[in-house]
Amino acid sequence: MPRKPSAAATDAASASTTLTTQVHDRIRADIIRGDLRPGQKLKIAETTARYGVGAIPVREALSRLAMSGFVEVRDQRGFYVRSVSAAELQDLTRVRVLVEGAALREAIALGDADWEGRVIGALHALSRLQPYEATPERKLDIQWERLHNDFHRQLLSACRSPYLLRMADELRDLTTRYRHISVSSQTTVSRDVAGEHQAIAQAAVSRKPDLAVALLSDHTATSSEIALTEFGAHAGASAATVGLAALAGEMRASR
């Protein structure tokens, strides 16, 4: 009869998993904030020193981040922060608008009072924080980012399709990598993001699917358009920036 793992072994395994998760979350946050730049090599020795942990949890965390699209593994060359591109963001935005629109319509049709409470509760929690840290660099506040993600997840949570919800989570995660590009824009500073969230939530719990989907689509596309404009401002006339104005018009016209 096989022996059960000892309590000490179980505790050690649990501690290792917890440490890996902590390192994963810290690296992910630094990628979102732009502290780790797209294309930057994540050398194991430097990363262990940066986060004050051993090589094993760092490798495990980087492997998880590679699975979620934040990091890429290059043959024989190690881990790198995944590169960003205007073309990828365009494609992600188009697909995200389609998937989230379908999921939100179903959530509105099937959601009960508990769903309404989750949406309003998530909105309230998000509204209590500012998107940026109180620093001259205007870096994204990671706690706000977590609550922002939860608000979007709760909006769709009454949808009964696990596939739609999984796709929505993955697409939202992938577009989050572009957040540090859009937050550096002056356009973002003057944008009423809190007002956009309020309007989306109100339309959803008021059972106005057409309005809610239109507002959510516009919210998502506007963030992408700001990031695309930043690509154009920093990349001159490179191929990735050709047709950015036309793309913004396409995204609006498709909604």
Element (H, E) at 40: none
* Angstrom distance (rounded) from CA 27 to CA 7: 30
* Angstrom distance (rounded) from CA 107 to CA 203: 12
- Averages of pLDDT over runs of 10 residues in the chain (255 residues) are 47 63 93 88 96 95 93 90 90 95 98 98 95 75 91 98 96 84 65 94 98 95 85 49 44 50
Closest to 29 (Cα-Cα) out of 56, 44, 50:
50
> Tokens 């099937």 label which residue?
110
Residue type (1 letter), 100 = E
Residue 134 has a pLDDT of 75
Residue 50 has a pLDDT of 96
Element (H, E) at 234: helix 209-235
Residue 247 has a pLDDT of 45
* CA distances to 33, 130, 139, 145, 183 from 133, in Å: 11, 7, 6, 11, 12
Residue 10 has a pLDDT of 41
Residue 181 has a pLDDT of 75
Give Cα 55 to chain centroid, integer Å: 26
Give all domains of the chain, ordered by start, each with its CATH number: 8-81 (1.10.10.10), 86-253 (1.20.120.530)
Whole-prediction pTM: 0.78
Residue 176 has a pLDDT of 84
* Angstrom distance (rounded) from CA 68 to CA 127: 28
Residue 185 has a pLDDT of 62
* Angstrom distance (rounded) from CA 6 to CA 49: 32
Closest to 158 (Cα-Cα) out of 192, 110, 105, 116:
110
Element (H, E) at 79: strand 78-81
Q: Residue 71: phi, psi to the nearest 5?
A: -130, 150
- How does 208-241 read in b/e, with b if 16+ C-beta sit within 10 Å? ebeebbebbbbbbbbbbbbbbbbbbeeeeeeebb
* Angstrom distance (rounded) from CA 243 to CA 12: 54
Give Cα 113 to chain centroid, integer Å: 27
